[in-house]
Amino acid sequence: MKELFKKYREIIVYIIVGLMTTVVAYGIRLGTIYGFAPIFSIDLSEGGGKAAVLRAIATSLGWVAGVIFAFFTNKSWVFQDKVSGKRAVLIQFGEFTLSRLFTYFVEVGLGVGVPALLNALGYKPFTIIITFDADLIAMGISVVLVTILNYILSKLLVFKKKQS
């Protein structure tokens, strides 16, 4: 078991850190929504207006918190990166942020494109405990693809090991 962990340590820790990042990002997001809605008397059942603005702010804050948390945990725990110095770390953080921004747009594209394609092809939702509608399928594809892309971009572009 120890050898198996040693062999796949980076991927195992990456998945654990990813789950922790999700908790941080969604914790900030939900905390912002449910913390500020009562303070500013925002009716969350309304479709637009103040509720939409609050959700946009909360989503953005969650994304930023998730990126910051993911950078430092990936740097130290996943890839055990040794780059130091303020300038070098800032450049690395910029690369990390740009890579995450890229995969954010991939996620948005999949979230819009996959349901549109499935619906255009006449896809009909089905239920096995939960309903597999076009949005759920898009989310599943997105989670897998974006996770793989984030790992590859982090490993090859951001936390690349220097050849000695």
CA distance 30 to 94: 26
Q: What is the pLDDT of residue 47?
A: 66
Kindly report the average pLDDT of the chain as a whole number: 93
Helices within the chain (DSSP H only): 2-39, 49-73, 86-120, 134-153
What does the domain layout of the chain look like in residue ranges?
1-80, 82-164
- Could you report the per-residue pLDDT of 126-148, keeping only the tens digit for each? 999 999 999 999 999 999 999 99
> Could you give the angle at which helices 134-153 and 86-120 cross, rounded to 10 degrees?
150
Kindly provide the b/e burial profile for residues 58-92, where b requires at least 16 CB atoms within 10 angstroms of the residue's own CB. Answer: bbebbbebbbbbbbebbbebbbebeeeeeeeeeeb
